[in-house]
Amino acid sequence: MSGGIRRVGVVGGGQMGAGIAEVCARAGLDTVVCEADAMAARAARERVAASLERAVRRGKLDPAAAKDALARLTFTGTLEDMADRQLVVEAVIENPGAKTEVFAALDKIVQDPAAVLATNTSSLPVMRLGMATSRADRVVGLHFFNPVPVLPLVEVVSTLHTAPRTVAVVADFADDTLGKTVVHSRDRAGFVVNALLVPYLLAGIRMAESGFATATDIDTAMELGCAHPMGPLKLADLIGLDTVAAIAEALYEEFKEPLHATPPLLRRMVEAGLLGRKTGRGFHVY
C-alpha cells in the first residue's frame, strides 16, 4: 500500500513543511504544498528551491535531480487543492486551534476514504486532531526532524483510534519511499525524542539564567565534554525558542513535572522575538 502513495499534500510551507515537501519530491512523488495565501506559497517555493540549490552545491544532489524534484512540486494558497491526495501531512504552527481547524477542513476536502491524514506536531496530542475528523482511524503522527532533508529519523505516533493498518502504511512509506529510519511512539506529549531532549534543553537554559555559566561555556562543555555535536543552547536556537517553549508547555500540561516548566528567561526571549537562528538572535547571535 505504501508503494501506492504517489500523491502527497503538505499543509504549511515553513521550515518543516518545506523540508517535508522537498524529501517527498526528491522521492519522486507528486507533491502539493498549501500555504495561507499565494504570497506565502511563493515564499515556500523559494524556500524549497534554495534548499535544493544548497544540496547541489554541497554535492549531495545532482542538478538534474534537483530540477526534477522542483518540477514535481505545486504550491498553492487553496486548501481545496488537497482533494485528490492520498497522504496529507499537516505542518502548520504549533498551535492546537490552528491544527484542529486544518484537520477538520481536510476531513471534508480529501476525497479518498482510504487517505491518511498525518500531523508533524512535535508535542500536541494526535488524538485531539483525529477527533476533529470523521476518520480518526486514519489519523497518525508523522514527526520529522529539522532539517528534514538531512536528519534520517521519523517518529510514527499512533493514537487509541489509529488503525494498525494506517500505522503500517505510514511507517512503510517513511521507510521504503522516503528512506527514513522509523521509531514508533504512543500518543504522549513529546513522543520519544522531545520527551527526552526538552528537559535537557531547559536545564541548559536554567543554568544560563542563573549565571552558573555563560551560554558559550555551557555549549562548549557539552560539545567537548560529552561529544555532543551541538550544545543545548545552540540546539535550542536551531529548533526555535518558540518551539522549545511550546513543547515544554505541552509536556508540563501532560505530566506536571517541574523539570518541564518553562524557565522565565525562555518566556521573555519568546516575548521579545529572540527566537534563535530564524530571527538572527537567541542565546547566540547569527
User: pLDDT value at position 139?
Assistant: 98
Per-chain mean pLDDT for the chain: 96
Kindly report, residue by residue over 87-135, the tens digit of the pLDDT: 999 999 988 999 999 999 999 999 999 999 999 998 899 999 999 999 9
Catalytic residues: 122, 143, 155, 194
- Is 2-186 assigned to CATH 3.40.50.720? yes
Q: Hunting for cell 555563560 — which residue is that?
A: 214
Domain 194-278 has what CATH class? mainly alpha
Q: What is the mean pLDDT of residues 223-241?
A: 97
Domain boundaries, the chain: 2-186, 194-278
Percent of the chain residues past pLDDT 70, beyond the cut:
99
Cα 212 → chain centroid: 32
Q: What is the mean pLDDT of residues 171-183?
A: 97
pLDDT(1) > 90: no
User: pLDDT value at position 4?
Assistant: 87
Kindly report, residue by residue over 104-115, the tens digit of the pLDDT: 999 999 999 999
Kindly report, residue by residue over 134-153, the tens digit of the pLDDT: 999 999 999 999 899 999 99
